[in-house]
Amino acid sequence: MWEYSETVKEHYKNPKNVGSIENADAIGEAGALACGDALKLYLKIENDIVVDAKFQTFGCGSAVASSSMLTEMIIGKPLEEVKKITNKDIIDRLGGLPPEKTHCSVMGREALEDALKNYYGYEIGEKSTDKIICTCFSVTENTIKEAVEHGAKTVKEVADLTYASSACGRCKDAIQGIIDSIIGKKEVEQKALTPVQFAIKVNKILEENIAPELSKDKGGIELLDIEGKNIYIKLQGTCSSCPNSTATLKGFVEKKLKELVDPEISVISV
């Protein structure tokens, strides 16, 4: 028996915004009655803000709860925000869904995409080459790469950050492949670095990735010394004038160097 959150139960028992909208500005559909699950979403849009949303669904309790929550999430919101809503956002707002039921939130997201397509007359979102790896949660390859760059080392840790692999699990091998390719590449790079190469790489990242960011606030950075994995820096300009700002910027520099050079790096601001 599946466990449902109180929010899911509440939205199932008392769904919000059920029905249709006459003269809707956009209508989106997802699923298929033949498969037992279908959702129709109606939007009223004024000045690029969703002023009303209603839905009709022929699906299970989770589909009702997901659709109900989706309408609550979009009413009153500008389209720019609405476009960014993901399946994960719907599930988070519901307080979670059993993995077997995630397709219900996917259906909500798909109906929303369809409605926006109907409204704009074209496909929304980057028609990028970013490949979807986890179809259950529409998680792309770049999102998984970002999760790994931010420290996720296992499929479970990627799931904790993105939800990818938390439902049917078909995408687990692909996620593992992405993790292996990034971590393996980093290990090879790190193993190959001599102290001189390490110093050159630190310098390059400071110059190309960090200094330009600091210069936006009229700040700067000077590399003073490198001892093993300890990097001694001096923050310049407005960066050095405020202790709080110095601590924040030092944290920023350390995070970048850990990500791009070596996770064991420690930055000391003097």
Query: Could you say whether residue 134 binds ligand FES (CB under 6 A)?
Result: yes
Residue type, 167: A
**Which residues are known to be catalytic?**
35, 104
- Does the protein bind ligand FES through residue 147 (CB under 6 A)? no
Q: Is the Cβ of residue 71 or residue 143 nearer to ligand FES in the bound state?
A: 143
Distance in Å, CB of 132 to ligand FES, minimum: 9
Closest CA to 37 of 62, 2, 1: 62
For residue 164, what are its two tokens? 């990818």
Burial environment of residue 59 by CB neighbours within 10 A (0 to 12, 13 to 18, 19 or more): buried
List binders of ligand FES among 163-192 (CB under 6 A): 164-171
Complex with ligand FES: residue 68 or 140, whichever CB lies closer? 140
Task: List helix spans (H) across 121-194.
Answer: 141-149, 155-162, 172-192
Cβ nearer to ligand FES, comparing 53 with 136: 136
Give the count of residues interacting with ligand FES (CB under 6 A).
11
- The continuous run of DSSP H or E covering 120 comes out as helix 102-120
Amino acid at 153: K
Find the shortest distance in angstroms from Cβ 162 to ligand FES. 10
Q: Among the candidate windows 24-32, 120-128, 158-166, 250-258, which touches ligand FES by CB under 6 A? A: 158-166
Question: Can you read off the two tokens belonging to residue 73?
Answer: 């999430």
Q: Are strands 37-46 and 49-58 parallel, antiparallel or unpaired?
A: antiparallel
Beta strands in the chain (DSSP E): 26-32, 37-46, 49-58, 132-134, 139-140, 219-227, 230-237, 266-269
Taking residues 80 to 119 in sequence order and writing x for each that binds ligand FES by CB under 6 A, - otherwise, the string is ----------------------------------------
Q: How far is the CB of 31 from ligand FES (least distance, A)?
A: 16
**Shortest reach from residue 133's CB to ligand FES, in Å:** 7
What residues make contact with ligand FES under the rule CB under 6 A?
A: 134-136, 164-171
